[in-house]
A and B are shown apart, each in its own frame.
Chain A
Amino acid sequence: MTKETKKKRGRAPANGAELIVDFFERNGVDLVFGYPGGAVIPLYDALHDGNAKHVLARHEQGAAHAADGFARASGRTGVVIATSGPGATNLVTGLANAHMDSVPLVAITGQVNTSSLGTDGFQEADIYGISIPITKYNYLVKNPADLEDVLAEAFFLAGTGRPGPVLIDVPRDIQTAPAKSNGKKTVSIPGYDPRPVPDDGEVEALAGAISRSRRPVFYVGGGASGEGVSETLLKLAEDSDIAVVSTLQAKGVFPDDRELSLGLPGMHGAKYANLAINESDLIIGLGVRFDDRVVGDVRGFAPLARVAHVDVDPAEIGKRVSVDIPVAGDLKLVLDRLAKTIKPSKKPAWRERLARLKSEHPLIVPESRGNLIKPQAAIRALSEATGGEAIIVTDVGQHQMWAAQFVTSTKPRRFLSSGGLGTMGFGLPASVGAALSGTGLPVALVSGDGSFQMTLQELATVRQYDIPVKILIIDNGCLGMVRQWQEFFFDKRYSQTVFEYNPDFSALAKVYGIPGKRVENPADLTDSVRELLETPGPGLLDVVCDGGENVLPMIPAGKGQTDFYEAEENPPRPS
């Protein structure tokens, strides 16, 4: 359909579908991702005249991850639309992914007519029931008069408190039913506090603990990526010599290039990060979940430390690790108050100890064996070439952990990765969303040969909208992360983890009209990466890598903070 045939509506909404589009316009939703189908034709008809731009993904999962990437990069709520039945069920992974990482999304699904609900009608799936455990909240609209309030509540819930995905299931007849705006502006939900104010006593207790601590560590998570947190965190840490470990979701909130930054903690964190936690006398969790990939064995976590936990979600406090100093409330409010209360205090001994840990246990990019590129070297080359001035998106696997280790991030929202759910296939569509999020930054994707094949259909989306995503494939010919576990814990029995066939990724890109290159020689690596980044528009670089490389250091699942796996021995299989 050409632009000329599109006529802007410019009148009050007449039915439910138009009400939705009108709501978008009034609430600054200018970009949505989706995929049409029978149960959302009325909504797509209204969108056809609307001001919001719609990006047509090639799979609903892709649309959901794109909305997710948009939200992670911009901090705004992402919107995704899908039809009933299979369209809706295709959103499930995307919703679960956003839920685990607390990403604000609103998903709108079509549904069979209200009169057919529950009759196993054509393309009926109970997405309301299905999505209960993977959304912050969800709705099935049964009455046209409720629609506008539901939309307002949904956006309010998605973006406030601990953010998360909200799903609205809209039967087809609700979309076509006469409707008009009630013009209501405010939303209030009894018992729901969008910005919980911390208790003074709790904040004072934390301030006191920080002042008394000699070896403090901030343990920072995705909850800290909100507006204005980064600056205060930097000041607090630098003023009082507080070391900082950052989860995957918080990478860049505290600049990776600072002396006090210890990077990723936990399973694949640097030894110095875990050793610092082990020696610390005060761990201050900020918007984190004390996730098993970080904490390992709960009993052995930070044995010398008192644990403080600041979180907007009180249910996270004490969920896994016992907390001595709980602070429930909005993180920015808490940090602002701490910054006012705490007197700077230098801790030269701690700084010295941290520097020593860092120099004794550096993260190393290994030398090339034979003439094979080391995956870590490829990622380091990307990081150096972008110099922090790019959004780096990852997929899931070894390449993701190497990206966490070797990409230097200095700002929040510039490292996007599926943490909680660990969703292979997140990368490409999330890059699409990130590139359209209006940050003006270039977007580079670090993907794996396995992950990339899960959502590569979105290359068509990249081409159609000419989205300048720079795709780097760490092509190790295997499902590297699983292969690594098999090597370490399953007697090197590589069951179904080695690809006996892979497509030629550079040729594949070309089929989609995207420039594709392959690099195999370590000597060509830096130039190839630079060329990928400097060529305008989208591009793909297939980096053929050493397939035997492992992510180290490694603390095996459920082990203590300093139980580093020594790659040579073969420990007994985990039972």
Chain B
Amino acid sequence: MKKIISLLVRNRPGVLSHVAGLVTRRAYNVESIAAGPTENRDITRITLVVAGDEKVLDQVIKQLRKLIDVIKIDAIPHENAMTGELALITVSFTPEKKTEIMSLIGLLGLTVKSIEKDRATVMIAGSAQSVDTAINGLAPFHIRAMARTGLVALPLDRDNF
């Protein structure tokens, strides 16, 4: 089972170390962790995607809630979440494959950030699934570099936050 955990934390210098340290120390299975500012500059939002059984996930949430800097924690079921992710992908290719790859990029709806004769960097922003689809689509070519932000999420029900 996987859960999206959304944290609102005090925007303090060591807060990411505290969160990251906790999940590694307690050997939790964290698939992604993304942090960024919120509408309030004293507060940061951290989104984690954690895998584990019910008991483990329950512990993850309780241990995270215990961190002094955590102001609010919500476990959002996937079906109640608006989620998004962004990825930058650099592929390389031989010049004769360029047309093929350009049409694939168009087909997948990727944004071209740079293009040269033997390589291109594209960007995709969307659901985790659409990012996966883009990566799978480009996989037959040589993926030289990739950066994924990890999932960010908000609950569908905004009143809840």
**Contact among B59, B62, B63, B68 for A137, CB-based, below 8 A:** B68
Q: Is the CB of B62 within 8 A of A315?
A: yes
**Given that A142-B13, A191-B72, A318-B55 are known contacts, is A132 also in contact with B62, CB under 8 Å in the complex?**
no
Q: Is the CB of A132 within 8 A of B17?
A: yes
Please report the total number of A residues contacting B with Cβ < 8 Å: 20
**Contact among A133, A142, A189, A319 for B68, CB-based, below 8 A:** A189
**Given that A315-B59, A315-B63 are known contacts, is A136 also in contact with B68, CB under 8 Å in the complex?**
yes
Asked whether A230 is an interface residue with its Cβ less than 8 Å from the other chain, the reply is: no
Of residues 67 through 88 on chain B, the ones whose CB sits less than 8 Å from some CB of chain A are 68-72
Asked whether A28 is an interface residue with its Cβ less than 8 Å from the other chain, the reply is: no
Asked whether A138 is an interface residue with its Cβ less than 8 Å from the other chain, the reply is: yes
Q: How far is the CA of A319 from the CA of B69 in the complex (A)?
A: 21
Please report the total number of B residues contacting A with Cβ < 8 Å: 19
Of residues 38 through 96 on chain B, the ones whose CB sits less than 8 Å from some CB of chain A are 55, 58-59, 62-63, 65-66, 68-72
Q: Is the CB of A315 within 8 A of B65?
A: yes
Asked whether B25 is an interface residue with its Cβ less than 8 Å from the other chain, the reply is: yes
Of residues 114 through 151 on chain A, the ones whose CB sits less than 8 Å from some CB of chain B are 128-129, 132-133, 136-138, 140, 142
By a CB distance below 8 angstroms, the chain A residues around B142 are none
By a CB distance below 8 angstroms, the chain A residues around B140 are none
By a CB distance below 8 angstroms, the chain A residues around B10 are 189-190
Of residues 189 through 216 on chain A, the ones whose CB sits less than 8 Å from some CB of chain B are 189-192
Asked whether A313 is an interface residue with its Cβ less than 8 Å from the other chain, the reply is: yes
Asked whether B18 is an interface residue with its Cβ less than 8 Å from the other chain, the reply is: yes
**Given that A133-B25, A191-B72, A318-B55 are known contacts, is A138 also in contact with B14, CB under 8 Å in the complex?**
yes
Q: Which residue of B lies closest to A318 (CB)?
A: B58
Q: Is the CB of A191 within 8 A of B71?
A: yes
CB distance from A94 to the nearest CB of B (A): 19
**Given that A132-B14, A140-B13 are known contacts, is A314 also in contact with B62, CB under 8 Å in the complex?**
yes
By a CB distance below 8 angstroms, the chain A residues around B126 are none
Q: Is the CB of B13 within 8 A of A313?
A: no
CB distance from A157 to the nearest CB of B (A): 6
Q: Is the CB of B65 within 8 A of A314?
A: yes
CB distance from A325 to the nearest CB of B (A): 16
**Contact among B18, B21, B71 for A190, CB-based, below 8 A:** B71
CB distance from A164 to the nearest CB of B (A): 10
Q: List 26 A-B contacts (CB under 8 A).
A: A128-B14, A132-B14, A132-B18, A132-B21, A133-B25, A136-B68, A138-B14, A140-B13, A142-B13, A157-B68, A189-B10, A189-B68, A191-B69, A191-B70, A191-B71, A314-B62, A314-B66, A315-B59, A315-B62, A315-B65, A315-B66, A317-B62, A318-B55, A318-B58, A318-B59, A319-B59
B residues lining the A interface (CB < 8 Å): 10, 13-14, 17-18, 21, 25, 55, 58-59, 62-63, 65-66, 68-72
If A133-B21, A140-B13, A157-B68 are given as contacts, then 4 extra A-B residue pairs at C-beta distance below 8 Å, sorted by A number, are A132-B21, A133-B25, A137-B68, A192-B68
